[in-house]
Amino acid sequence: MGSGFVLIFTTFQLLMLLGICKGGKIGVCYGRNADDLPTPDKAVQLIQLHNIKYVRIYDSNIQVLKAFANTGIELMIGIPNSDLLAFSQFQTNADTWLKNSILPYYPATKITYITVGAEVTEAPNNVSALVVPAMRNVLTSLKKAGLHRKIKVSSTHSLGVLSRSFPPSAGAFNSKYAFFLRPMLEFLAENQSPFMGFPQSNVSLDYALFESSSEVIDPNTGLLYTNLFDAQIDAINFALTALNFRTIEIMVTETGWPSKGSPKETGATPDNAQTYNTNLIRHVINDTGTPAKPGEETDVYIFSLFNENRKPGLESERNWGLFFPDQTSVYNLDFTGKGAVDMTTNATNITGSNGTTWCIASPTASDADLRNGLDWACSSGNVDCSAIQPSQPCFEPDNLASHASYAFKQLLPAE
C-alpha cells in the first residue's frame, strides 16, 4: 500500500462476508508481511468463520494454497514484480511455474485470478515493459492446461496510471505509460479480464468516508458524486472509454482504511476505519453502481485481513488489518449493511444499530446440527427457503452456515 491513507483501491474486486444476497462481491486481501501471524491453516479457519468467500494473496505460496484446498473460497494469486523478468523472457518459465506451483493444487484450491505484477508504475525498478509479455506467457501456459477460461489473467495498478482523475469525465491515462498500457488493455479486452487498479487521494474526510452531506458536480456531464469511491471508479471508466475500451470491467482489489497512524495521520482511527468499510460494503452489496454506470456491480477486496507490522513507511501502513495477529478483531465491522457486528462473537442473535434483530448460525455448531435446523425451518417451521436454492438471490455463499442463518432469520418475530 502507498503512504496515503485516505482511500485505497488496488485491482477492482470484492469480498463477501456473512450471508449477502445481491450486489457486487466483497473479498479480503490476505497479506503476510508480519510477525506472529497465525499459520495459513488457522488463517483460513478465521476466514471461513466469517464466511469470506473471496480472497487475494500476493504470491503462490504452497502452504497457503494447500490451506485453501476444498474450502470453496475463490482465490486470486499473484506473480510479484521480482519474477516479471523470468516470466516475460521465456515461455518455459511460465510453464514450469504453472506445472509445479499451481496444477498440483488446482482445482481443490479454487484459483480464479492470476495477477501479473503489482503497481509496476510505482515500483523502484522500471519493470512496466515486462508486464504484458509476462501476462501473455502465463495465458499461454493456462491455454496449454485448458484453464484459460477458468482462470483470468490481469495486473494491478494504482491511480497513478491516470494523468487526470477530476472531474471523473476527464479521466485519462498518462501518455507516458501508453507503451505498455494500450497493449495491456488490448489483452484484457480480448480475454475478458478485468482492469485492476488502486486509487489513492487526499480529500475531505466525509467525502472519502461516504458521509458527505453535499454533492460534487462533474461540470462536463452534470453527474453528481457523493463519495470519492464512485468518482475514482468513474475516472477509470471514462479513461477506458476514451481509448475505446468499453467492455473492460473494473475490479477493486485493494481498498480500506487504517485504524492507527502517526500523530500527523489524524484520520487513521478505528472509528473511521469502521465507518469506511461499513459504508463501502453497504454501497457495494446494494448494487448502486456509480453515477456514470448506475446499477453496475463492482467487485471489491478489502485491505487487509491482518495488521502487518513488518511493512515499511508511516505508522498507518502497519494498521490496515481487520484482525490482530492473535485473530481478535481490531474493530467491529458490519459485513451485512445492517448493524455493527462483532467479528469475534459466537452469538446467534445480533441487533443492528436500527434495532433490527437477525440471526447468524453459531460458528461452534456442527454441520449435522445446522443441517437438522435448516431442514426443520424449511419444513415444519414453514420458512420459505426458495431464496437459498441454486441460482436464487441468497444461494451464495453456498454453505450450511449461510443458508441456516437465512432460514433462522425468517423464524424471528416481525420487528
Q: Which residues are catalytic?
A: 119, 254
CB 263 within 8 Å of CB 247: no
- The x, y and z cell numbers of residue 262, run together, are 502517526
Beta strands at 74-79 and 54-56: parallel, antiparallel or unpaired? parallel
Query: Cα–Cα–Cα angle for 108, 112, 116, nearest 5°?
Result: 120
Beta bridge partners of 56: 29, 76
| CA gap 251, 255 in Å, rounded | 11
Place of cell 492470476: 114
- The x, y and z cell numbers of residue 49, run together, are 468463520
Query: Which DSSP symbol is given to 27?
Result: E
Place of cell 506451483: 101
Query: Cα–Cα–Cα angle for 124, 193, 67, nearest 5°?
Result: 75
Buried/exposed 361-379: b ≥16 CB within 10 Å, e otherwise: bbbebeeeebeebbeebbe
| CA gap 288, 162 in Å, rounded | 25
Q: How far is CA 1 from CA 6, 31, 42, in A?
A: 12, 11, 24
**Chain mean position to CA 227:** 18
Helices vs strands, H then E, count in the chain: 11, 14
Radius of gyration of the chain (CA): 21
Place of cell 482465490: 75
- List the alpha helices (DSSP H) in 289-356: none
Q: How far is CA 345 from CA 32, 168, 334, 362, 364, in A?
A: 24, 41, 12, 9, 11
Beta bridge partners of 298: none
Helix (H, G, I), strand (E, B) or coil at 59: coil
Q: How far is CA 291 from CA 128, 146, 203, 233, in A?
A: 32, 39, 19, 10
